Amino acid sequence: MTAATHSPLFSQIPDSADAVLDGLDPEQREVATCLRGPMCVLAGAGTGKTRAITHRIAYGVRAGIYQPSSVLAVTFTNRAAGEMRGRLRQLGAHGVQARTFHSAALRQLQYFWPKVIGGVMPRLVDRKIQLVADAAAACRIRLDRGELRDVTAEIEWAKVTQTVPADYALAAAKAGRETPRDPAEIARLYSVYEELKQDRSVIDFEDVLLLTVAILQDRHDVAEQVRAQYQHFVVDEYQDVNPLQQRLLELWLGERDNLCVVGDASQTIYSFTGATPDYLLDFRTRHPGATVVKLVRDYRSTPQIVHLANGLLAQARGRAADHRLELVSQRAPGPDPVYTEYADEPAEAEGAARRIQELIASGVPPSGIAVLFRTNSQSETYEQALADLGVPYQLRGAERFFDRPEVRKAVIALRGAARFGGNDSLLDDAVDLPSQVRAVLSAEGWTPQPPAGSGAVRERWESLAALAHLAQDFAAARPDATLSDLVTELDERANTQHAPTVQGVTLASLHSAKGLEWDVVFLVGITEGMIPITYARTDEQIEEERRLLYVGVTRAREQLYVSWALSRSPGGRPHRRPSRFLDGLRPGSAGTAGRGVPGAFGGIERGFTATDGAAAAAGTVGAVGGMGASVPRRVRRAPARCRVCGRTLTGGGELKLMRCEDCPSDMDEGLYERLREWRAEQAGRSGQPAFCVFTDKTLMAIAESVPDDEYELARIPGVGMRKLRRYGADVLAICAGQKPVTETGEN
């Protein structure tokens, strides 16, 4: 299991600011080098968004444009923030703050509390569910465990949407929420919950944001002090921002606009918590001068998996669907997704477990495999099936890695060995860092071979093995590293909850899998009633379920298995059917999936400047719709669908031709030869290779489409704005049967 943006764990620090940009594609480079003013990055799954924004920050710092302490990068999980800090360190950008919204707000609240409020700040409660249970008891309302969890979620939603108890019932009805209890009852529980917190002098995580917002709104001096500290902001996963977080961000910014936001409306799967993609989609309305960069080059998944992902969203509806991105795989072809129907759920679990066992036997590491399901209640069947075959597994969302007793004990032992290792006979035969770590871990119960079976013993071994693997990677990247250096790295990871990979198959819900990726993914239980889930009734809820399945599909790098069961238990009535989202995509199914209107394509859309305004007045720059205001932009790139058969295109050569390689060509051979002759003359004049003018594939695409104007020419991949300005007049003249402009002396 790895973070979604796949890169080496430990890499060499770039030796200069320009070296930070090495390896970035054109769109990522635009993100990294456009350092002033507002920027919106629409980033599809697997397109390297974390890479783009960390390189942006690092380039700004290394080039001397940003002061490290003036940058605040905000994301949504401790793991993502920890990964971002780690990447920034490896890029030589030390001192940049990368935090979650809650962590950043809590730090500010703790600092300003004595000055603004006075006294000791109330204690922060980690788990509010016990307080909700106490509120229910005070109201003489009986809630079972599930209802407690659901009511707690309703209180959280109310607070992030800044809804007070008296307004809850009306707000819930207006939002169309399916409340777990009578809205009036929940409002009463919410009110008593707030009273209990005040009586006990505690606050919850939502209060941290609310109180910080209140202080920044009411105290101009405090707001100015925060704004003096932070000059540049980057917000990751911006489609998941809720109204309270957006308000906090606005207060941090003040009247400034040095803000870069990154997100994908097609991965909005947390609307039930108050998250909304509207802030992402309305970014251009709020910031008319913003640059919009679209990342669609998928470096994670094979063309076959990307084709399925694009097909899933092709029939999507609603505002988020209007802004979907058409991914283009950058990887070599792989196997087609495998679709399997089973008689019942136990048979489905056993089938998946057997296939996983075969994959592991063939060399796929267990940590590179995941089983993803819609609800956590589905995990037990798969836990049992894997345990029966002796396949190691881990539950995503279980106890934090560095909080596990065996891990804490092992780190203490490693720290002791780092201090006194010279006098420790345990390390006498250890010749390098990995062998030193293995020696220490052996004393804690680690063995080179895993124990038989599963359960607690196996889980402890997996934890220690993860530390051994981390030491191996660390030593490979830093050959001169000592045991003390490794302990420092472990301490940093413990502080950020950046756990190493555990060598076991991951079992996880689709929601908890977001932001992660695996070589092989099993999507199980993909039936009507499960996805979309039974209680998804409105169009908006159905579309969110579609996006959830899309997130599951795009977690896979190389192999994808999709399965469903016709009944819940053996012998049951086979009344289930595969999810409607697979119609037209899985073999033998009817439907129109994959034939919808193409999504948005990669490229860069710049905001208003004086030059742009003049160009727009002259009619040379097109207007873009859909991101709010109508603004000048670069001409949109060509569709990623075959113009002959309509299939989604994935390969670079296919994209240049705008058709499948094996679809018939209608190229004008005479025009192609004239273009080749012209290209040779241009290359001779400039002293560069012919392909630097245009590649053969680009000339073929021009000869097939025979563009009439600059807009049509610019739509052909491989042309681009620079070549359009330099060669466009010549190419269009040749296409019209005329002499190139350069020959007539008009250029």
Residues belonging to the binding site for ATP are 43-50
CB 608 within 8 A of CB 289: yes
Three-state SS for 38?
coil
CA dihedral 356→360→365→369, nearest 10 degrees, is -10
In 529-688, which ranges are continuous DSSP H helix? 539-553, 610-617, 652-657, 669-686
**Which residues in 650-670 are b (16+ Cβ under 10 Å) and which e?**
bbeebbbbbbbeeeeeebeee
CB 232 within 8 A of CB 70: yes
The count of C-alpha atoms lying within 13 angstroms of the C-alpha of 263, restricted to the half-sphere facing its C-beta, is: 31
179 φ/ψ angles, rounded to the nearest 5 degrees: -80, 140
Q: Which two tokens stand for residue 514?
A: 């977001």
Rounded to an integer, what distance in angstroms lies between the CA atom of residue 19 and that of residue 268? Answer: 34
Burial of 239 (0-12, 13-18, 19+ CB in 10 A): buried
614 φ/ψ angles, rounded to the nearest 5 degrees: -65, -40
**Nearest Cα residue to 66 out of 225, 291, 290, 231:** 231
Rounded to an integer, what distance in angstroms lies between the CA atom of residue 465 and that of residue 501? Answer: 9
Phi-psi group of 201: left, alpha or beta (phi > 0 → left; psi -120 to 50 → alpha; rest → beta): left
Render 377-420 in DSSP notation, one character per residue.
GGHHHHHHHHHHTT--EEETTSS-GGGSHHHHHHHHHHHHHHHH
Rounded to an integer, what distance in angstroms lies between the CA atom of residue 697 and that of residue 165? Answer: 64
**Nearest Cα residue to 547 out of 261, 265, 242:** 265
Rounded to an integer, what distance in angstroms lies between the CA atom of residue 335 and that of residue 303? Answer: 9
Q: Which residues are known binding-site members?
A: 43-50
Rounded to an integer, what distance in angstroms lies between the CA atom of residue 436 and that of residue 588? Answer: 57
Pairing state of beta strands 516-523 and 2-3? Answer: antiparallel
